[in-house]
Amino acid sequence: MRSRSTITAVLTILIIAGGLYYFYGYRHRDISSDFNAAKDYTEDAATTSAVKSALSLNKQLSSFDIHVDSTNSPGKSGNDVTLTGHVPTDDDKRVAEEVARSTKGVANVVNNLQVDPKTQAANTKQ
């Protein structure tokens, strides 16, 4: 019984090793580049989440549907964040940008928010 589990373990290791060899050897991929890509993705997601949380905690902005997208910013210590959506006033647009800029992990903010006075009526909580 013990030899059967040993054989199963060895076969499992060989299959995994063969898969890794095929994936990284045959396709000329580098495992470190995949780790870096995963790291960049998680940093982007963490920054996006942090900015969304900061905007939702701001009483002036919490009722508006502001979309946040972040991308890795090469050569900078942080991510580029893009804000999109609609807010009712220029002041709301400015405050949203300030909140995003002050969030940890943000290097640059592209504020593509549109000012539409009708937005307040559409997003007012009842």
Q: Can you give 48-115 as a three-state secondary structure string? A: HHHHHHHHHHCCCCCCCCEEEEEEECCCCCCEEEEEEEEECCHHHHHHHHHHHHCCCCEEEEEEEEEE
Distances (CA, A) of 36 to 32, 33, 39, 42, 112: 6, 5, 5, 10, 29
Residue-level pLDDT at 24: 66
Query: What CATH number matches the domain at 31-123, 3.30.420, 3.30.1490, 3.30.300, 3.30.70?
Result: 3.30.300
Per-residue pLDDT of the chain (126 residues; tens, 9 = 90+): 567 888 888 889 999 888 877 776 666 666 677 677 777 777 888 899 999 999 999 999 989 999 999 988 666 777 899 999 999 999 999 999 999 999 998 999 999 999 988 876 444 544
Contact criterion met (CB below 8 Å) for 79 and 73 = yes
Strand 66-72 and strand 79-87: pairing? antiparallel
The predicted pLDDT at position 21 comes to: 74
The two structure tokens encoding residue 108: 């640059």
**Amino acid 94: pLDDT:** 96
Domain ranges of the chain: 31-123
Which token pair is 89? 């006033």
Residues sharing a CB contact under 8 Å with residue 44, sequence separation 6 or more, in sequence order: 70, 71, 72, 79
Nearest Cα to Cα of residue 58 among 83, 103, 95, 87: 95
Task: Report the pLDDT value the prediction gives residue 75, as an integer from 0 to 100.
Answer: 66
- At 126 the pLDDT is 45
